Structure formats: C-alpha cells, structure tokens
Amino acid sequence: MPNSTTSGLLIFGALALASFGTPALARDLPKTPDELISTVSQAIAARDMAVFEDLVNWKDARKIRKRVVSYQIRTTFGRPIRSIALEDFPADGLKETESRGTQKANMAVSHRLRVIFDEPPGESGIPPTDVFLIGKEQDVYRIALVNPVPRKDND
C-alpha cells in the first residue's frame, strides 16, 4: 500500500489531466505491455505531457482533478527510472474504494504500471514510486482514473 515515499498513486481519483490537444487515435496508443512500458518511460524522460494526455482516459474527470493530475504527472518528468513493470491487478483491487459508492473507476482495470525511480529511498527504506491503473479499451492500453460518482439529487 502507499507510504510516505510513494510519489502518488495516480489511480485513486485525485489524478486526471485535461486533454489539451486532439485525442490520440487507438492505433497511436500502446497495444502490448512492452509498448506501454516504452511509451511511459520515454514520456517521463522526454517530459512529454502530450503523451500522457493521450494515454489517460479522461472520462468523467473534473477540472480540479485535471489540474491535480497534471501536477502529479509532471512530478515524474526527468526523474531517473530504476524499473518499470506491468503487474496484474487483483479483480477486487478497487472493491474497498468503490464499495463506499462515492468513487468508481472510469474503465475496467486489469493491471497496474509500477514506476520505481532510481533515487534514494525515503525514511521507510522504499524508493520513490508511482503507480498507474491500467486497462484496455479498443485493444489499446490506457491509464484509468477513479473519479467521484455524481451525486443523485432527491428531487
């Protein structure tokens, strides 16, 4: 689970980013795990926000979240990467978060992409890490978000 040295879990709703350009076509997005890892690694090294704008599924993301996610993603830019790996995500991995009825993933999540930075570990001894929720839409990998569920008025 997250700790003080974890840069942030880009997965639990606090993270989204406005797509300022034209959305990527499905053929432009990664179709294999290796393509996803390469795409994210290169985008972090090159400080390429446009790549993340295309990778993230922005569905249902609110403006404030988009600003927060933009900041969070930019904190990864230029940092040396020790390792990056695509891991299976447990089928019930969001059960606790979604059980409250206030947040929901904006797509099915099948994996998590763990980026461990090649920097000194924090007080806990764990190196700085970011984790992205990953799903597939139209045969391409996307970064999923957990967004607030709109409130239903009792009118």
User: What's residue 83's pLDDT?
Assistant: 97
Give the pLDDT confidence of 52-64 residue by residue, as tens digits: 999 999 999 988 8
Q: Which residues pair with 85 in a beta bridge?
A: 114
Q: In this structure, what are the phi and psi dihedrals at residue 86, rounded to the nearest 5 degrees?
A: -95, 120
User: What's residue 31's pLDDT?
Assistant: 96
Those residues of the chain that have pLDDT short of 70 are 1-27, 153-155
Tokens of 32: 């294999």
Ranges of beta strands (E only) in the chain are: 6-9, 81-88, 103-105, 111-117, 129-137, 140-144, 146-148
Tokens of 128: 């700085």
3-state secondary structure of 130: strand
Q: In this structure, is the dihedral angle defined by the CA atoms of residues 80, 83, 89 and 95, taken in order, positive or negative?
A: negative
Give the pLDDT confidence of 10-34 residue by residue, as tens digits: 443 333 333 333 445 555 899 999 9
**129-137 and 6-9 as β-strands: parallel, antiparallel, unpaired?**
parallel
* pTM for the structure as a whole: 0.79
User: What's residue 9's pLDDT?
Assistant: 45
